[in-house]
Structure 1
């Protein structure tokens, strides 16, 4: 399906905080709009739920992350982009909850703490990493400075125990940051009891002047020898790593994903292909195991559903493509489109979505980003 705003889609993410048995909910980000969809597991539909428009028409959203407020028991979405401002919205109503100030330039990536759904980290063109609590307007920690990145940071990820963050940058380096210090952990605990004040600018200034915003200037490890060009994406889900060739990827801002079971790594490229590597037998091969073409333009980001079966890809042709991973020997669901096959020995008749504007397949609902709009203000 294609969204009606006719703008490149830069980000997509499934809600990881839904209870078992719920219909998976997907969020996409393009231009100044967040769009929510349901992806039923018993059909091939992508059903529009709501569109949330940013009040600034000049806003370009580059990234989003799901959070969960354990106090209010509510699902939140934090997003940022060109302006450097991060906004927090209620995923159910679309209402704006908070503007989060701190970054001085584009926000390129955001990731939520795997062990605390109220804490997330962001990276920016201003060369810093910032930690946030969804109940506080200002950052609780800033990572960067003397030994920080020297050019804009493009991506980051958390370690599974939340004690480390790894970041990658246009300075061709990867840096590892330690978050396990007593001072920072105490600040994170304190932030869990706070509620953002009405005078958030004064609160932010007070935090900086009083030292409540923790400053970390030194990473514990730096590697500048891995790559000779920009590092677009990094993910710490894989235990073992090997150099893999991704064809037609000589442009930046292409982001991969690893499935929840750590069995597959998938990335798009500028030719509209999905390239997949099998991780089940240890180190993956240099060349991908499976490829399939889903678009005629750059595929910007991939995301897996919580069960690892659903795969969604977003692209520059404002398309949202849903595929379903079917393992060798499994029956093919009747709603799958079997007209095309992935190239690869382990592939099994994937589900592909129509990529022409307004085209429907198998009575699927394409949805319109102009319907069910929620405008935040």
Structure 2
């Protein structure tokens, strides 16, 4: 068994021999109908171990917080309705301030980022900067006061949710040439992010030479608008792995999982040469087929330790793949007669025993492993 350090300790990765064909049985334990408007995002709180069973959804101008209970129950905790009735939230992420206060960060069609203090149940801050809708928000797990946003305005922005400062803008000469649909922080290299979008590319960016500005954002006392925001115009790597829109990418150690509208998720390695930035070679490691997944804005999720990934499709089915096996191992294929609407996003619990989905028809489905 080949062992490679991937950023999660020493784990078996691609190239290893799968010692067992894992299969899991899941059953539907709950279904909620949140409303009639599409739900575009659903996510567990992996930032704070006290709240690993708490999750949030967004759809229309509403952000809702729930808790997964034992035995399949789901409890409604909080709900926020945006003052803009025409807002349609597309994305939500958990974050926190430097003292550890839990925040929810949501964005969508109007391009405004809402930071909600879940302790006081009030808006902490609203960020204006993007020139168009926001397609994804992700949080830096190593510094959860930092978030990164992907926008229809062809840019990615790095923000400090504690101080309200836009620190860096990834855009310009080497930037995306169409909507940016997804973005993710590297799990262990704090300087690195990956973004992807409608220009069919995945771009890897480095913040290393701008890190002093990140540190400055925590001690800045003047108005956030006076902060010397810097443009990062050139990525360190550009990958053309897909031939169509790329709507979700996630780091898997130093590898990348990316999904296009080609009915599959691809695991690949960027072969980066530090001395020559720009378009580079990639090593395609594995492909995870997802039938009937040919519409864009369907996002997959992984459990905390990246043992498995769950991705929905336009027919309401879920495919659960084991990530630590080669060749690829389909753990489960889930379907329910009453779930026929496109699954816009899945959320896997900390240990992968619960899978949540949010659907185009406004429904939330909960699946649990059958022991």
Same fold per superposition (TM over 0.5): yes
Does the 8 A contact of 1:107 with 1:123 survive in 2? yes
Does the 8 A contact of 1:36 with 1:49 survive in 2? yes
Asked if residue 39 in structure 1 is aligned to residue 68 in structure 2, the reply is: yes
Does the 8 A contact of 1:171 with 1:230 survive in 2? yes
Asked if residue 299 in structure 1 is aligned to residue 343 in structure 2, the reply is: yes
Given the alignment, which residue of 33, 42, 50 partners 1:3?
A: 33
Partner of 2:107: 80
Shift of 1:180: 1.6
Does the 8 A contact of 1:135 with 1:191 survive in 2? no
Shift of 1:309: 2.1
Change (3 A) 1:218 1:24: same
Does the 8 A contact of 1:23 with 1:39 survive in 2? no
SS across alignment from 1:80: strand
Given the alignment, which residue of 183, 188, 191 partners 2:214?
A: 188
Change (3 A) 1:24 1:195: farther
Q: Which has the higher strand share?
A: 2
CA distance in 2, matches of 1:298, 1:107: 20
Change (3 A) 1:155 1:11: same
CA distance in 2, matches of 1:220, 1:302: 30
Change (3 A) 1:44 1:59: same
Please identify runs of 4+ aligned residues in structure 1 that moved more than 3 A: 194-197
Shift of 1:15: 1.3
Asked if residue 101 in structure 1 is aligned to residue 128 in structure 2, the reply is: yes
SS across alignment from 1:9: coil
Deviation readout 1:330-365 (Å, 9 max, x if unpaired): xx3xxxxxxxxxxxxxxxxxxxxxxxxxxxxxxxxx
Change (3 A) 1:217 1:39: same
Partner of 1:253: 297
Shift of 1:190: 1.3
CA distance in 1, matches of 2:180, 2:246: 9
CA distance in 2, matches of 1:258, 1:23: 14
Shift of 1:283: 4.6
Partner of 2:287: 243
Q: Residues 103-118 of structure 1: matches in 2 within 5 Å?
A: 103-118=130-145
Deviation readout 1:205-234 (Å, 9 max, x if unpaired): x33xxxx1011000011112x111111100
Given the alignment, which residue of 298, 318, 332 partners 1:274?
A: 318
Shift of 1:239: 5.3
Partner of 2:239: 223
SS across alignment from 2:72: coil
**TM value normalised by structure 1:** 0.78
CA distance in 2, matches of 1:171, 1:38: 37
Does the 8 A contact of 1:18 with 1:24 survive in 2? no
Looking at CA atoms only, which structure, 1 or 2, has the larger radius of gyration? 1
Shift of 1:70: 2.4
Does the 8 A contact of 1:137 with 1:196 survive in 2? no
Deviation readout 1:36-73 (Å, 9 max, x if unpaired): 11112x221011111111111000000011111123x3
Structure 1 residue ranges without an equivalent (≥5):
198-202, 327-331, 333-377
Partner of 2:248: 233
Does the 8 A contact of 1:135 with 1:194 survive in 2? no
CA distance in 2, matches of 1:129, 1:232: 14
Does the 8 A contact of 2:45 with 2:52 survive in 1? no
CA distance in 2, matches of 1:283, 1:262: 16
- Aligned-residue RMSD, C-alpha: 1.7
Does the 8 A contact of 2:165 with 2:217 survive in 1? no
SS across alignment from 1:171: coil
Partner of 2:10: none
Deviation readout 1:113-170 (Å, 9 max, x if unpaired): 1210100000100000100001233411000100101000000111112221111110
**TM value normalised by structure 2:** 0.79
Change (3 A) 1:195 1:120: farther
